[in-house]
Structure 1
Amino acid sequence: MTEQLTAPESAPEPLAETAPEPAAPPGDGRRRRRVLRAIARWTAAVIVCGGAGVGTAAALTSMERTDVPGLATESDGRWAYPRLSLPPLPEGSPRPYTLGNEGQVHHADPRRLLLPAPAGATVDAKADGRLTTSGDAVLAFFDKEARPGLEQTLADSTLRHVTTRSWTMPDGTRSTVHLLRFGSVAYAEAFKDELIASDDGDATPEILPAGVQSAKLDGYADDIDVADTMVYGYHEPEPYGPEQTRWAYIQAGDTLALVVHTRKGEALQVPFQQTVTLQNQLLG
């Protein structure tokens, strides 16, 4: 608890008396009052101008460069996500990669670990932080022939819950983030290994999304520096039909995240990489 400030016990000493000023000559009082009023007006003007200048400087220094007219830079395609922070933990619970948490368990509310939608997004009301014990929404993403095997793997892996958020951006990009939390790190990694062959040096996908014929590994994953996590990013190479899919897996302790962007024509890399990076940081 911070220490409160209290008033001093002793009163301040009275100001020393000064000798009275000599009386002003007759007729000089009005002239002195006019001078004092003029000085007061100029002082007030200086204070107002100075305050406005200080306020403007403070506002400019507190704003982002893109918020200042004349200093805005051309957008590089990133989305305007809200300011993010790690969610609170239950009392006495450690972070997933700290001493005393050998199981790398995420104790925070999984809905608070899920990336929020960016500005301008139309959020799917049925998948806005939805928490369920079923993996059906995740299975629907994959090729139909692979679903029975994946469903059995989920049934055998003590899946605790799946948390999902989906939204659509004005440019038509459809985004979905699933967080799958398992009973242990081993089960999370086992399900990841069902999806990709991460032991062959290039993390080739073993199972593709529905409607996707081939996949290419994204190189940006190596640039996402979040300790104790792994990112495997992919995109659908040309020719990919009327729309393109980008997806990534984030292995983070007992949790595996699946991030998907789909867009007619081309799913842009910059916002996808941004989405993956931010979700990874929340899980780290």
Structure 2
Amino acid sequence: MTEQTTETPAATVPAEDVAPAGDTAVPPAPKPPRRVLRAVARWTVAALVLGGLGAGTAFGITSMERTDVPGLATGSDGRWDYPELTLPALPAGSPRPYSDGNVAEIHHADLRRLLLPAPAGATVDKKLDGGWVSAERYLSEYEKSERADLGRLLDDSAPRHIAARGWTMPDGTSTRIYLVRFNSTAFAQGFMDSIAVSGSEVPLVGAPESVLDEGWSGGGKVPGTSSYVFDEAKPFGEAQVRQGYVVAGDTLALVVQSRKGKEGTRSVPFHQTVILQNQLLG
């Protein structure tokens, strides 16, 4: 379609606007057509409205909780309600295990302060209350027939301290966490290789045979650490037993969860527990 053009009649200039003779006449700036002004006004209003809406949306999202934002809400997936985690204070001048000034990856913090706290609703095990435990208590997690050999291996690996915490949740899930600190990272990894990486894992009590946990993706792992997660091979016995190891510098963590009944232990809180304990050791 060809746009039609209508010529605008020449404007009449008032006498007072005519330049005096001898001066260079400067014509007045032409006024934009009214339709152009109306269009500019409409676009200006539209831009202000859109800008206001955009700012309002951004403010709304930043001021809302993540679970309140449509599309970002996360339904209950069985995770436990752990308290907010904080790293313990270090002795003056001591670096974190994975800082540039700690090539040996030594944990200088009190080992007991690196244990994962019990989640909300848990009943804490009075014998595993977050303090020091003996090597015999740690070895009691393994099958009785394996303890003598494992004890000699542990002695040869020169452990310095062992700390532990345990609890039971309302659904009957029992959790025990042990932290074993060795004299060096080589001893920690060597002990791990002997009990769970050599292809003949040392069995835990109630789990004569274990298999790699196929649901474990290694998410949340601190760079520089190693994690090994196992599930009890089917068919389960009286209780299903899950176990996870974390090697972090000079320290080895063992996480054990068990639950009686056909339902057994749930993978989500178990993986959550392994991840959080890993992060505390980083």
When normalised by structure 1's length, the TM-score is 0.71
For 2:201, the equivalent position in structure 1 comes to: 206
Runs of 4+ in 1 over 6 A off after TM superposition: none
2:269 corresponds to 1:281:
no
Q: SS at the partner of 1:148?
A: helix
Contact 1:221 1:232 in 2 (8 A): no
CA spacing shift, 1:64–1:222, aligned 2, 3 Å: closer
Q: SS at the partner of 2:176?
A: strand
Contact 1:205 1:215 in 2 (8 A): no
Give the whole-Å Cα distance in 2 for the aligned partners of 1:166 and 1:107: 23
Give the whole-Å Cα distance in 1 for the aligned partners of 2:66 and 2:128: 32
Greater C-alpha Rg: 2
CA spacing shift, 1:234–1:205, aligned 2, 3 Å: farther
Superposed CA deviations along residues 147-177 of structure 1, whole A, max 9, x for unmatched, are: 1111111212221110000000000000000
Equivalent residue for 1:268, pick from 244, 266, 269: 266
Taking the TM superposition and a 5 Å limit, the aligned residue runs for 1:182-197 are 182-197=182-197
For 1:10, the equivalent position in structure 2 comes to: none
Give the whole-Å Cα distance in 1 for the aligned partners of 2:129 and 2:217: 26
Q: Which amino acid aligns with 2:154?
A: L
Give the whole-Å Cα distance in 2 for the aligned partners of 1:77 and 1:262: 16
**Alignment size in residue pairs:** 218
Give the whole-Å Cα distance in 1 for the aligned partners of 2:155 and 2:103: 24
Give the whole-Å Cα distance in 1 for the aligned partners of 2:186 and 2:140: 24
CA spacing shift, 1:93–1:209, aligned 2, 3 Å: same
Taking the TM superposition and a 5 Å limit, the aligned residue runs for 1:74-153 are 74-132=75-133, 134-153=134-153
Q: SS at the partner of 1:223?
A: coil
Deviation of the 1:283 alpha carbon: 0.5
Contact 1:221 1:231 in 2 (8 A): no
Deviation of the 1:137 alpha carbon: 1.5
- The root-mean-square deviation of aligned C-alpha atoms, in Å, is 2.2
Percent same amino acid at aligned positions? 50
Q: Which amino acid aligns with 1:139?
A: L
Contact 2:206 2:241 in 1 (8 A): no
2:248 corresponds to 1:249:
no
Contact 1:81 1:119 in 2 (8 A): yes
Give the whole-Å Cα distance in 1 for the aligned partners of 2:73 and 2:95: 41
CA spacing shift, 1:250–1:73, aligned 2, 3 Å: closer
For 2:176, the equivalent position in structure 1 comes to: 176
Give the whole-Å Cα distance in 1 for the aligned partners of 2:260 and 2:209: 17
For 1:230, the equivalent position in structure 2 comes to: 226
CA spacing shift, 1:136–1:102, aligned 2, 3 Å: same
Taking the TM superposition and a 5 Å limit, the aligned residue runs for 1:42-57 are none
Deviation of the 1:224 alpha carbon: 3.5
When normalised by structure 2's length, the TM-score is 0.72
Give the whole-Å Cα distance in 1 for the aligned partners of 2:66 and 2:165: 28
Give the whole-Å Cα distance in 2 for the aligned partners of 1:205 and 1:84: 35
Superposed CA deviations along residues 235-261 of structure 1, whole A, max 9, x for unmatched, are: 112201221000011000000000000
Taking the TM superposition and a 5 Å limit, the aligned residue runs for 1:65-80 are 65=67, 74-80=75-81
Q: SS at the partner of 2:178?
A: strand
